[in-house]
Amino acid sequence: MLAWALCWLLFVALWQFGVGAMTALLVTCALGVALSLLGASWWRRVMIGAGFPLSLALSGVAAVPAWAWLLPLLLLLLIYPLNAWRDAPLFPTPDNALLELHKHAPLPLGALVLDAGCGLGHGLRALRQTYPQARLHGLEWSWPLRAACALSCSWARVRHGDIWREDWRPYSMVYMFQRPESMPRAVEKAGAELAPGAWLVSLEFEAAELVPQAVLQTPDGRPLWLYQSPFVHQKAPDAVI
């Protein structure tokens, strides 16, 4: 509701200053999409980003061509590309979530660490807290999120790319905060590419196929799953005759 109210205030202000309806719509929708990054889940982000244009359309306040209502959709797709929705559109790592990680997964000085799907850089900042001497890399598919992350995490190497096409072999640790459906794919890729001794770390979501090296509790109660290569696979249950 706060995001929608801010969008309406901006739109009315632009309208009163004589800005054209199309320009005002574009600028205000951009604000709504930016505010949608604060949503805690994908449906909340859609509601935040799409709420203003929908309410404007229903109000009939401004007459704009029909195609103009595609602008909010295009902006949302710019922030959240379609292929990124297979994974987590934006799951920010909570503050101090990884503070204890270095005690259970020690890394050599200068080790390469990848935040796979770095979003706005929350995970990179959390990794920097616990591994200040590591060389941190972030990979993000959304161009705007990648640009924002690079600005806020200038000490890390942040690139645009697909985490599933990236070669994980150089990394001593791959950190993920994705979703349960992504974990089997992560297990397969990590098993094929991570060197012995390297770590796969997943916040909240378990790799059910693997036996964890450790499971930590973050300050907000989320589990942090640690797996070290070569991975130990869970035993299949005995068949019942």
Helix axes 42-59, 2-16, angle to 10 degrees: 40
**Could you give the percent of the chain with pLDDT greater than 90?**
49
Find the mean pLDDT for residues 127-135.
97
Domains of the chain: 2-79 (no CATH), 101-228 (3.40.50.150)
Rounded Cα distance, 110 and 151, in Å: 22
Residues 6+ apart with CB under 8 A from 190: 168, 174, 200, 227, 229, 231
Q: Which residues lie across from 217 on neighbouring strands?
A: 223
Q: Per-residue confidence at 4, pLDDT binned at 50, 70, 90?
A: confident
pLDDT at 18: 78
Find the mean pLDDT for residues 119-127.
93
Rounded Cα distance, 143 and 126, in Å: 22
Please tell me whether the overall predicted TM-score, pTM, comes out greater than 0.85 for this model.
no
DSSP string, 144-178: HHHHHHHHHTTTSEEEE--TTTS--TT-SEEEE--
Tokens of 75: 């902006």
Half-sphere exposure of 120 (CA within 13 A, CB side): 14
For 87, phi then psi, to 5°, come to -110, -150
- Which range has highest mean pLDDT (80-94, 100-114, 138-152)? 100-114
Closest among 110, 112, 117, 120 to 137, alpha carbons compared: 112
26-52 pLDDT, tens per residue? Answer: 777 777 777 776 665 556 766 777 777
Q: Per-residue confidence at 82, pLDDT binned at 50, 70, 90?
A: very low
Helix axes 21-36, 70-79, angle to 10 degrees: 30
Closest among 217, 215, 180, 6 to 97, alpha carbons compared: 217
Cis peptide before 92 (omega within 30 of 0): no
Rounded Cα distance, 13 and 68, in Å: 20
